[in-house]
Chains A and B, each alone.
Chain A
Amino acid sequence: MGMNTVLEHANPDAPLVDLSDVPLSALRTMDTPELQRALQQVVEQSAVPRLYENKRDSSGQP
């Protein structure tokens, strides 16, 4: 495995915020612009599920 450098930017529209270190008690009251953007992003992604996300094969094999 080569060096794990960041080659490019993450998803340029709205990078996914990392909540690993945010306890639920803090997340409930957090109200920063970037969190609001992140919330809007996941809501929009979920509201219009992309076709590929569900698969119905018809080839007779997986």
Chain B
Amino acid sequence: MPANQERVTPNELPVHRIGTADFDAIADGTGDVGAVRLLREAERSRRLLLLRAITDFVVKDPALRGPLTHPEEAWDLLARAQASAPEALDLLLGHPYTGTWAGYTIRLLHRQITGVCPLWMHLGHLHALAAAAAIRAGLSFSVAIPLWSGTASLPGLGMARFGPDPDRMVAEVRRTDGRLEVDNGRHIIRPPVDLATDGPGWWAVRRVEATSGARVLSVHIDDVDPYRSSFEPVLPQRLPVDELANWTQLLGDAWRLIVRCLPDTADAFPAGFSSLVPRPMQPFGTTSASSGEAFGSAVISRPADPASLAAALVHEFQHNRLSGLLHLRHLHGDDPAERFYTAWRDDPRPIAGVFHGVYAFYGVAAFWRALARLEDEPFQEIAEFEFAYWRQAVWQVLGVLRSDPGLTIDGRRFLRRIAERLSPWLREPVPMATASAASAALLDHYAGWRLRHLRPDALVVRTLAEAWSAGQPRPALGFLPDAEPTPVPDGLWRRSRLDLTRLARGDSAGFTRNWRTVPEATTADFAYVSGRFAEAAEGYRTELLADPDSPAAWTGLGLALSRSGTGPAGSVLLHQPELVRAVYRRLAADGTTPGTPDQLADWLGWLRTGTPPARS
């Protein structure tokens, strides 16, 4: 019996367990390959349970089958495939979107809703899974599978495309004498003998292999599986050949960086990451997502450079690892209250989301830290900024999270190990200007978050407005506790200053020429990032005249004044901006608008409020 199994009693099933060393290796993020394999084996059991649960649902209610045959036939075909070639079933169970499909379908059944296409199509995906396993096992068989908008998915292999035909809802997949056919009753598609290549009516799931020294990362670029999205099923979005070439190049370079920067993680990576869902490039930022149901996969928009892709891959690998661990251990309670500030999200987060974010960005910080030391790579300046930014961002949240009563003993142990590794990084040297830019960017975000999600006490606001209007000194207020954050934002977000800061760090030569390409960037933002703080302050005053509610202008004014002013205005605008804006709004409504916003901020002076995130 493997070391990670324990038989409870002689007649009971063993259960998946994770030992201390593996648990700690995952927490450390050092990437022990054995621990990742253990998580993958647990996911296999979990997906088998979901397969059985879905089959049970359909067996009990024949109306759920739609035009397809009895689910027992699909199950029997899966069992035949396993008996003939066990690895065929293992590949299918390891396919990330088998998990996504199962979770989505269970939700439909639980809520008795249909989803993006008829419920029987989702349930009938079981038949498509069986067909895919049987093909891999080399069996002769015949089975009907659903057609969604004229496409027949064979998970992990590819997709037969007939084109939309409302009269054709199923296709027969048959394999006889080694010849595969997909037949919708009107047309027959015969995929190539090598299913990894495209053919008439056939889109293969393409594979990209990245090699760095002895380390190989083999990844499916899956743009066809209907359950590849983190949220809802989606139709195929075929990546053009030139875009595939771009991804291949980027993946190769990113893999080389991961191997150089995080060799331990690179050891574990191939065991826990097998599929990438490509999304189009987005200006000034890589977006990525993953699902705990799709262990081994990530959705990533095409980054501009391999360092950004490497960071995204490390980030999503961290999510995958933690999602797998959470299927074996409770690390925190289920409190859904959105009460935490984090630097990586604009909205307040629940404990589960914060926990995930801490782990994912801890990995990201580790990657940038290592990359910043590689003088022969062209990313040193941006890597120094990202390292300074993420080590501080994670440390801030870690300090709050570690004292939260919602953690389990395991959760505290997990976070303690992260803190022990992260803490020394805070003292590692980063160029002064870079560290300062990172701190300012974090303060910018925190102030913007307060403006949007904290609501000041109405009585305090009224008292202050009345005192200002009467020409009195600001009343003594004592300590002002923060209210619980609300998830409803008060104002739009604008992240142009952060984008500009990154542009300046990554392309200092082209910054002046290219800053206008940054979405929503204003001349005040450009002045601020260029270090012309008085000019920036004047620009933000002008923005506030046009839009007195603008969170970006309030925090921009605070940032500029904190660098150029001598009074308390800059500080109060960054640490209690929601109070300044609320009083300003009240005065404006009463017809006694201050001459400038910073006059009011100066009058408010130094305040004692709330619990800001811990500072490094």
Residues of A within 8 A of B319 (CB): 55
Residues of A within 8 A of B334 (CB): 50
Q: Enumerate B341-363 residues with CB–CB distance to A below 8 Å.
A: 343-347, 350, 352-353, 355-357, 360
A17 B13 Cβ-Cβ under 8 A: yes
B330 A11 Cβ-Cβ under 8 A: yes
B345 A47 Cβ-Cβ under 8 A: no
- B20 on interface, CB distance cutoff 8 Å: yes
Determine the distance from Cα of A3 to Cα of B448 in the docked complex, in whole angstroms: 47
Determine the distance from Cα of A24 to Cα of B43 in the docked complex, in whole angstroms: 16
Residues of A within 8 A of B106 (CB): 42-43, 46-47
Residues of A within 8 A of B498 (CB): 59-60
Determine the distance from Cα of A13 to Cα of B330 in the docked complex, in whole angstroms: 9
Residues of A within 8 A of B364 (CB): 61-62
Interface of A, secondary structure class, is loop
User: What 1/0 flags go to A22-62 for Cβ under 8 Å of B?
Assistant: 11110110001011001100110111011111111111111
Residues of A within 8 A of B23 (CB): 7
Also in contact, A4 and B20, with CB within 8 A (given A16-B327, A17-B14, A60-B284): yes
CB distance from B272 to the nearest CB of A (A): 16
User: What 1/0 flags go to B194-229 for Cβ under 8 Å of A?
Assistant: 000000000000000000000000000000000000
- B550 on interface, CB distance cutoff 8 Å: no
A10 B32 Cβ-Cβ under 8 A: no
Chain B interface, number of residues (Cβ within 8 angstroms): 92
A24 B49 Cβ-Cβ under 8 A: no
- B328 on interface, CB distance cutoff 8 Å: yes
* The one of B55, B308, B347 that contacts A62, using a Cβ cutoff of 8 Å: B308
Also in contact, A51 and B13, with CB within 8 A (given A4-B21, A5-B20): no
Binding stretch for chain A, among B153-161, B286-294, B540-548: B286-294
Determine the distance from Cα of A19 to Cα of B330 in the docked complex, in whole angstroms: 21
Interface of B, secondary structure class, is helix
CB distance from A33 to the nearest CB of B (A): 9
- B260 on interface, CB distance cutoff 8 Å: no
Residues of A within 8 A of B60 (CB): none
- B3 on interface, CB distance cutoff 8 Å: yes
B53 A43 Cβ-Cβ under 8 A: yes
User: What 1/0 flags go to B100-127 for Cβ under 8 Å of A?
Assistant: 0011001100110000000000000000
Determine the distance from Cα of A38 to Cα of B56 in the docked complex, in whole angstroms: 14
- B5 on interface, CB distance cutoff 8 Å: yes
B56 A19 Cβ-Cβ under 8 A: no
A54 B291 Cβ-Cβ under 8 A: yes
B44 A6 Cβ-Cβ under 8 A: no
Apart from A15-B15, A55-B290, A58-B493, what are 18 other A-B pairs with CB-CB below 8 Å? A3-B21, A7-B20, A13-B330, A17-B16, A17-B45, A18-B5, A27-B48, A35-B13, A38-B13, A43-B53, A46-B102, A47-B107, A52-B350, A54-B291, A59-B285, A59-B345, A61-B386, A61-B502
Mark B residues whose CB is within 8 Å of A: 2-3, 5-6, 12-25, 32, 41-42, 44-46, 48-50, 52-53, 55-56, 72, 75, 78-79, 82-83, 89, 102-103, 106-107, 110-111, 230-231, 284-293, 300, 308, 311-312, 315-316, 319, 323, 327-330, 334, 336, 343-347, 350, 352-353, 355-357, 360, 364, 386, 409-410, 445, 493, 495, 498-499, 502
Interchain Cβ contacts under 8 Å between A and B, 25 examples = A2-B21, A4-B21, A4-B22, A6-B6, A6-B18, A10-B18, A11-B329, A20-B41, A22-B48, A24-B48, A24-B89, A27-B52, A38-B13, A46-B50, A53-B323, A54-B289, A54-B291, A55-B357, A56-B289, A57-B287, A59-B343, A60-B498, A61-B286, A61-B308, A61-B386
Mark A residues whose CB is within 8 Å of B: 1-8, 10-13, 15-20, 22-25, 27-28, 32, 34-35, 38-39, 42-43, 45-47, 49-62
